[in-house]
Amino acid sequence: MTENELLDELAKELIVPEIDKNEITANMLSIKTGISTRQALSILRKKEQDGLLKSRWVRGQYRKMLAFSKI
């Protein structure tokens, strides 16, 4: 494996993807419903535990955040 191949491989692992159009964040749910972001995240996590949603890390405006989508 050459240095460039290793660099490309590592970059693919470390780059945080952007949010997809079929995903939402706790902040989006909070704005839409008027509940707190913490409460929205709790609801989304519970739905994930129940097997209704899945999550992944995505790039936000200032930091990475969890995005949720239907399974």
CATH number at residue 21: 1.10.10.10
For 8-57, the three-class secondary structure string (H helix, E strand, C coil) is HHHHHHHCCCECCCCCECHHHHHHHHCCCHHHHHHHHHHHHHCCCEEEEE
Find all residues with CB under 8 Å of 48, minimum gap 6, and list them: 54, 55, 68
pLDDT, tens digit, for every residue of 45-55? 999 999 999 99
Is residue 8 included in any domain, yes or no?
no
Q: Mind listing the pLDDT tens digit for each residue in 22-63?
A: 999 999 999 999 999 999 999 999 999 999 999 999 998 889
Which has more confidence, 70 or 60? 70
**Which uninterrupted H or E stretch holds 5?**
helix 3-14
The answer to whether residue 10 is domain-embedded is no
Look up the pTM and report it. Answer: 0.81
Q: How many domains does the chain have?
A: 1
